[in-house]
Amino acid sequence: MPHLLLLALSCASGFALLLPVSPQWAVHGGADAFGAGLVTATLMATTVLAQLLVRTALRGLGWSRTLALGALLLGLPAPVQAFSDSLGAILLTTALRGLGFGILTVCGSTAAATLAPPGRQGAAIGLYGLTLALPQTVLTPAPSPGAGRGGGS
């Protein structure tokens, strides 16, 4: 269980840092508010799609490969965004990251329940959820422009 929590913490931390940056990067590249919103919508849609497909992935790939796939899909596309601020490139990398996050959330919580001692499955899933939520709370606001500055013009 400690290794699973470390994996989840690492993956969720990288995810949280780019969550507000990707839409801002799209705007930097010329996208309007709709394009920025499309980045977030793409992330959410692909996350849900992946969550629906995890059971199939587990049957075909097994636990370790499915978790590794989720971590790779979540992490590898992130640095690619630095090379292009075009909306298409950002949507593609965001879609891949959403698939990774969806795999990580479902596969990880199922693994937590499986690894937990009998009668402690709920506590294990709760601890896994907390491990995913903590970086969202602490790191998502970190890269926001203007953080810590006054809002005056």
Q: What is the pLDDT along the chain (153 residues), one digit of tens a residue?
A: 888 888 888 888 888 888 888 999 999 999 999 999 999 999 999 999 999 999 999 999 998 899 899 999 999 998 998 899 999 999 999 999 999 999 998 988 888 888 888 999 999 999 988 998 888 888 887 765 544 444 433
| CATH number for position 19 | 1.20.1250.20
Give the total number of structural domains in the chain.
1
What Å distances lie between residue 148 and 61, 83, 93, 122, 141, CA to CA? 45, 28, 29, 38, 10
**Has residue 23 been placed in a domain?**
yes
Q: Residue 143's pLDDT is what?
A: 63
**Has residue 153 been placed in a domain?**
no
Q: Residue 147's pLDDT is what?
A: 44
Q: Residue 150's pLDDT is what?
A: 40
H-helix or E-strand containing 112?
Answer: helix 87-115
Q: Residue 87's pLDDT is what?
A: 96
**Has residue 149 been placed in a domain?**
no
Backbone angles phi, psi at 31, to 5 degrees: -70, 150
C-alpha to C-alpha distance for 78 and 18, rounded to whole angstroms: 8
Give buried/exposed letters for 103-121 (b at 16+ CB in 10 A, else e): bbbbbbbbbbeeebeeeee
Q: Is 60 exposed, middle or buried (0-12, 13-18, 19+ CB in 10 A)?
A: exposed
**Has residue 87 been placed in a domain?**
yes
Backbone angles phi, psi at 151, to 5 degrees: -90, 10
C-alpha to C-alpha distance for 74 and 33, rounded to whole angstroms: 24
Q: Residue 151's pLDDT is what?
A: 40
Cβ pair 29, 81 in contact under 8 A: no
Range of the domain at 6: 2-138
Half-sphere exposure of 26 (CA within 13 A, CB side): 24
**Has residue 150 been placed in a domain?**
no
**Has residue 14 been placed in a domain?**
yes
**Has residue 49 been placed in a domain?**
yes
Q: Residue 19's pLDDT is what?
A: 86
Q: Residue 108's pLDDT is what?
A: 86
Cβ pair 104, 51 in contact under 8 A: no
**Has residue 152 been placed in a domain?**
no
